[in-house]
Amino acid sequence: MCGITGILLADSATRDIGKIQDLFTANLVANEIRGKDAAGILIVQNDGSWFLEKAALPASEFTKTSAYTSLLSRADRNTVLLLGHTRNPTKGSPSDNNNNHPIIVGDTIGVHNGTLSNDDEIFLRHLKAGKDSRIGAVDSEAIFALIDEIGRNSAMEHYCDRLSKMSQLLHGSYTTIYTRPADPFRLYLLKYNNPMSVHYSPEHQGLFFSSRYIFLRKAFGRSVITEALPSRQGFVFDSTLITNRGKRPILCFPLAQQDAMLDQEPAI
């Protein structure tokens, strides 16, 4: 298992960016229990620019490095997304940073919690670019390679339909969050059977994502009730609509059910 953290922010010049940075760091460290072999973060700005840092270190150590603090300091009133990952590797050595998350494939950047059993087959049979396009050895790369080949030149409903069909090719367990910085205000989440909770904070005008529900409960108190997202669904969130919609996504769509459903992790 791995840990996923994220904050999707509405456009606001008045928010307390220092508090948001602190909450993001605390969320990342809280998810260290889910993976101690590597950690990484991504920051996306509203103009589509982005900054990424990752290392083969547990989150508690990574967050104390100059690389982390320097990158986190880039978060400001123009920041749309902060995305983080803590890794417990099943395939692909953490010593090769290509295997650590966030993972970049073309115009897609994302994080994954789970294990695919057919990633080699995906690269061999289902990608136009073929096996030679593979950058690392981690199974997660196959997800983002498939997503990137879909592109984003169609209407949102049609794009989500293609994502739903693509999910038929994914064998194993997964929850993944990804973005396409060329369209920085949209965040995509595919939750098959691994935990993910989301909380809307009016104070910070943002959505807070975590693989650990208990972190959200401790951070935001009684306003957090039960906010685990349902399984076998995909979600699209839009930062420009957060203040009106809260944690309600702009679109939901089904993910293909596998022949043998893996046990779902508890949302803790």
SS3 labels along 90-146? CCCCCCCHHHCCCEEECCEEEEEEEEECCHHHHHHHHCCCCHHHCCCCCCCHHHHHH
Classify 130 in phi/psi space as left (phi over 0), alpha (psi -120 to 50) or beta. left
Cα separation, 14 vs 64, in Å, equals 27
Classified as helix, coil or strand, 1 is coil
Residue range 220-241: average pLDDT? 90
Q: By C-alpha distance, which of 137, 244, 229 is closest to 188?
A: 229
Cα separation, 102 vs 91, in Å, equals 15
Phi/psi of residue 166, nearest 5 degrees: -60, -35
The pLDDT confidence band at residue 266, using thresholds 50, 70 and 90, is low
Q: By C-alpha distance, which of 21, 83, 72 is closest to 210?
A: 83
pTM exceeding 0.75 = yes
State the pLDDT at residue 259.
62
Count helices and strands in the chain by DSSP H and E runs:
8, 12
Domains of the chain by range and CATH?
Answer: 3-254 (3.60.20.10)
pLDDT tens across 183-217, in order? 999 999 999 989 999 999 999 999 999 999 999 99
Residue range 43-54: average pLDDT? 98
State the pLDDT at residue 268.
60
pLDDT tens across 121-166, in order? 999 998 887 767 899 999 999 999 999 999 877 789 999 999 999 9
